[in-house]
A = this chain, B = another copy of it.
């Protein structure tokens, strides 16, 4: 797309009241926040885990290796708020809460996984590039 993304424009009405399209390159566009939620450290892994299964809180904790309770809760809140994840609590005892992707969440996660798959596929090239960079530029660290 060779259109102007408005990267350098200060006038970021960006989708709100105007008919301007949303634009992550615009400084105050809410899409920036969603992008961060989706691609953030735990957001992408959480979506990835839910891409395969409906999961409960502690199941997610076990599957997303390394995430803390705090971060998982925070991540799930953000994704739920953006309408990408659906939370369903059964009023049983002990409590049971299921998390699953919404329709929109599945679409977004699909593209996200596409990006991830490409990176994983090309990691050999990337590691080779790193090796070159690290030897050319001083190892002197």
Contact = CB atoms under 8 A, between A and B. Distances in A.
A125 B25 contact: no
Stoichiometry, copies per complex: 2
Interface residues of A, number: 65
A123 B48 CA distance: 21
- A49, A116, A124 — most chain B CB neighbours (10 Å): A116
A126 interface: yes
Interface in A1-55: 1-3, 5, 7-10, 15, 21-27, 30-31, 34-36, 38-41, 44-45, 48-49, 52-53
Interface of A: 1-3, 5, 7-10, 15, 21-27, 30-31, 34-36, 38-41, 44-45, 48-49, 52-53, 62-66, 80-84, 104, 107-108, 111-116, 118-130, 133-134
